[in-house]
Chains A and B, each alone.
Chain A
Amino acid sequence: GENVEQHPSTLSVQEGDSAVIKCTYSDSASNYFPWYKQELGKRPQLIIDIRSNVGEKKDQRIAVTLNKTAKHFSLHITETQPEDSAVYFCAATTPSNDYKLSFGAGTTVTVRA
């Protein structure tokens, strides 16, 4: 099955700086890559996603890039704010795998004021 690795496991940034989280996947047939944000004690919520036919997608301060050749995708958060502090999960899905999501282990992002 699909294996998703996520780095780093923790990330501390100064408010206003950028944060980058990287994920690699193993199955070249994966075609959908969502990113979820989970605040402490809350449910994960989708913040951005990208399909395999797109190389980059942006939504205000967050962007995701996908490199299908290298099988990795990254989340970029610019101008970080304290409310960006959370755990971020990447995921990948493959149609042949019953559309199940395979999640990375998560990155705990702390934005220092």
Chain B
Amino acid sequence: DGGITQSPKYLFRKEGQNVTLSCEQNLNHDAMYWYRQDPGQGLRLIYYSQIVNDFQKGDIAEGYSVSREKKESFPLTVTSAQKNPTAFYLCASSALSSYNEQFFGPGTRLTVL
């Protein structure tokens, strides 16, 4: 279903711990994105990458970090600096042009205990 996967599906974290969310795609897409979804707030962009070894901050990058060492992979680390990390995290990918659909992964639900 779209060729983009995320793991794990559910993740529990204690306060003060860093956690890394996985995102892999086999669609040969250049661009990858991380979104955070909270109830009633839609999708907010955390980070995005258009090419290997390069990435840009989105609207809510504070407390998060990413890497793009391979075209297929775009892991997101939620650091202890993120004050309210409990949310649903969605990864997406797309070809790099104006009219291309973003394909979403199934999401990871992170809960801080």
Q: What CA separation (Å) do A9 and B97 show in the bound complex? A: 30
**A89 x B43 contact (CB < 8 A):** yes
Partner of B43, one of A44, A46, A93: A44
Quick check: is A11 within 8 A (CB to CB) of the other chain?
Answer: no
Question: Which DSSP category, helix, strand, loop or mixed, fits chain B's interface?
Answer: loop
Nearest chain A CB to B62's CB is how many angstroms away?
17
Q: Is B75 an interface residue (CB 8 A)?
A: no
* Chain B interface residue count, Cβ-Cβ cutoff 8 angstroms: 26
A10 to chain B, nearest CB (A): 10
Q: Known A89-B43, A104-B42; judge A32-B99 contact (CB<8 A).
A: yes
Known contacts A98-B48, A98-B50, A100-B48; is-contact A105 B102 (Cβ 8 Å): no
- Which of A45, A51, A93, A103 is in CB contact (< 8 Å) with B42? A103
* Chain B 92-110 interface 0/1 with A at a Cβ cutoff of 8 Å (1 = within): 0010111111101111000
Contact surface of A with B, Cβ cutoff 8 Å: 6, 9, 31-32, 34, 42-46, 49, 51, 89, 93, 95, 98-101, 103-106
Tell me the B residues contacting A by CB distance below 8 Å: 2, 31, 33, 40-45, 48, 50, 56, 58, 90, 94, 96-102, 104-107
